[in-house]
Each structure stands twice: as C-alpha cells, then as structure tokens.
Structure 1
Amino acid sequence: MNSGSLSRTIENRLAKDRVTFVTTAEESGGAYEYVKVELAPGGGVGLHYHLAFTEHFEALHGELHLEVDGSILTLHPGESASAAPGVPHRFFNPGSESIMFHVKIAPARSFERMLRIAYGLVKDGKVHEKSGIPRNIFELAVMFKLGETYMKGIPLWLQKGMFGTLYRIATHLGVEERLLQTYCR
C-alpha cells in the first residue's frame, strides 16, 4: 500500500470519529501502526476483540472511556491502557465534548487497510446506517479478514468458518482487489 499518496486523515460519521495515521505499517516496517483519534460526543465502537495484535490506548484530551475485559475505565490525559489479543474491548465518548487519544496497534498487520475500506464504505453510503455494517456480505468478509476483528458472544469457530468461506469467495470474485484499489491506493 502506498500510504504516501493517501490522505493521512480519514473520517467515519457513524462512529463519529476522525483517525489520523501518525505512523503507518509501511513506515514502521510492519512493527506497529500509530494513530490519533478524535472522537465526537456519542461516538465509539462496539465490543470486539482481536487475536493477532494488541491495542494500546493513551488519552490526550478529555476523558477516554474504555471497556476492557468487562471493566469500564476512564482515562485522563497522559493515562493509558491496553487490550491484549483475545481481550474484548471498546472505546466510547459519553461526554459532551470531543476527545482525542492515541492508539498503537502492534504488530501492524492489515489494520490500516481495514480502516480505510471501512471508512470509505461509510463515506460512499455502502453500509447500513444504524450499524455501519457493509450491505455487501463479501465486503464485510474482506473487512473481517483484514481487521482480524471478532465479535464477543458469537463462537470464534463460527465467525472464522463463516467469514473465512465468504472471504475466499470474495477473493475469487475480485471484491478484495476492488476494495483495495478503491480505498487503499
């Protein structure tokens, strides 16, 4: 991916956030990605987990609210917390002002590509408005594969089996390549 020619900042009106890529996977040699997130009041993401990387959160401005492994945390500027592989987590802003925080994803994997595709699909109106989930099941499968993101409450074997099969079909149909061409180059 040629991060140099892409915008460093992307926005998602449904999650109510703006993400700036401070250090990309390409720039770190794949060791990590480092992003700055600006999260509007009421914004955030649902409970999820990853198996292949850790997310480290650091509050910069305002109060960052996290749920990590069932515990609700409130981080103030300078404070940090991590979600290790397999640990369910989410971030959210219940306050009345925007907040800012850094997230380090290590190792980097394909997280930037997943974010660029997800945010691009939102921008292009190709998702369900309430959930932000792509209308096209094959696009969703590509996002699951690249983001290595799983939902709490649904057996992992079922998620891997279902989305793994759909991802193979999506690859065969050229969906992944189309998404990468559209949003990552």
Structure 2
Amino acid sequence: MLGSNNRFSNPVIKDEIEILFESDEKLIFRTFLKPNGGQSGVHYHTKITEKFTIIEGVLNVIVNNIESVLKTNNELVINALDRHQFINKSGKNVIFEVEITPSIQIKNGLQIIYGLAQDGKVYKNGLPTNIFYMAIAIKMMDAYVPDLPLFIQKIGILSLAFIGKITGLEKKIVKKYCY
C-alpha cells in the first residue's frame, strides 16, 4: 500500500525516486537521475533481483565488471549476487524504473539513506556518517560491497544494526525518515 509521500531525493547521488507500487513481494519505483549522478561504488545484494527499464535517456550500468549503455525501452535484469552500479554519464536527465523482488525493507533503507543525505549526514560516497544508521539502512537494503568477505560484512552489519535496534536508534530514524 502506498503512503502519502512516496517521492524523495538524494542530493549526493543526484537522483529522485517516486514509488509506483509496493507489496511484500515487489517494489517498483521511478528514478529521475541528473547528469553525472549515480552510485559512487559497486555493490551487490544477496536476496533481491532488480530489473531496470529505461523510460527516457541513456544510463550506464556496470554488472559484474561489464558496462552496458541502456537507452529508452532497454531493460536489464540484475540478479542476486551480481555486482553492479549505475551512472548517468550523459549530459541529460535519465528516467528509469526499477522493479525489486522481493521488496524486503528496501524502501525504508532508501528513505533513511536519502533522508540522511538531505540532512547532510552522509559522506561524499553517500553512506551515513553514523555507523549505526549505516548498518541499519544497509541491513534493510541487503547491500554489500565486493571488497570484503560477505561473512565479515554480515557480522559487522548485523551486530551494529542490533545495537542500533536495542538502543532505540532504529526506531528513531524509521520514525524520522520512513513514511
């Protein structure tokens, strides 16, 4: 079910997201990405599949070290464990839809990261400066980096997110940023 405010932006990666559909099984959102915007680093998910559909413009997507240039009406599926990143290298805005299955807590994680970015509480790479907030959001988004072994990341993220939960930090940021 959609809430009243399903549009939010991230000034660090220069995008805005509009939630189009959400259920336990699926989350669909439209992304409006400005020139030179995009994700600062490669990441992967262990549980989700993403399908990108280009509505307007040109988007560069790197999947498993292979860069593709997607144009209007092109689609690309990114499976669990695929290392990926998207970037707008063009001089024009890009509009694309992302379908995520299953949706897990992706929307909440995005809203937290984007809200913290709006408040200036993130590093230049877009990750939160507060390590507990970072762990909470990353756990919700099932996001990991390829440079560290997964088991080490999971131990760290789950431990920090647990501390954030029992100390009330998770409740605080969910209340502030998630709607």
Fold shared by both chains (TM-score > 0.5): yes
Match of 1:85? 80
Distance 1:4 1:57 in 2: 23
Match of 1:39? 33
Asked whether 1:122 is paired with 2:117, we answer: yes
Distance 1:178 1:33 in 2: 24
Asked whether 1:145 is paired with 2:135, we answer: no
Q: Deviations over 1:46-83 (max 9, x none)?
A: 21000111010011111111001111011111110111
Distance 2:79 2:132 in 1: 28
- Cα deviation for residue 3 of structure 1 reads 4.0
Structure 1 gap ranges (5+): none
Amino acid at match of 2:84: H
Calculate the aligned-residue CA RMSD, in Å: 1.1
Structure 2 gap ranges (5+): none
TM-score by length of structure 1 reads: 0.93
Aligned partner of 1:164 among 155, 158, 167? 158
Contact 2:8 2:114 survives alignment (8 Å): yes
Asked whether 1:177 is paired with 2:176, we answer: no
Counterpart of 1:143 in 2: which secondary structure?
helix
- Cα deviation for residue 182 of structure 1 reads 0.6
Match of 1:24? 22
- Cα deviation for residue 127 of structure 1 reads 1.4
Identity of aligned residues (%): 31
Amino acid at match of 1:65: N
Amino acid at match of 2:121: K
Runs of 4 or more, structure 1, over 3 Å off, are: none
TM-score by length of structure 2 reads: 0.96
- Cα deviation for residue 4 of structure 1 reads 1.7
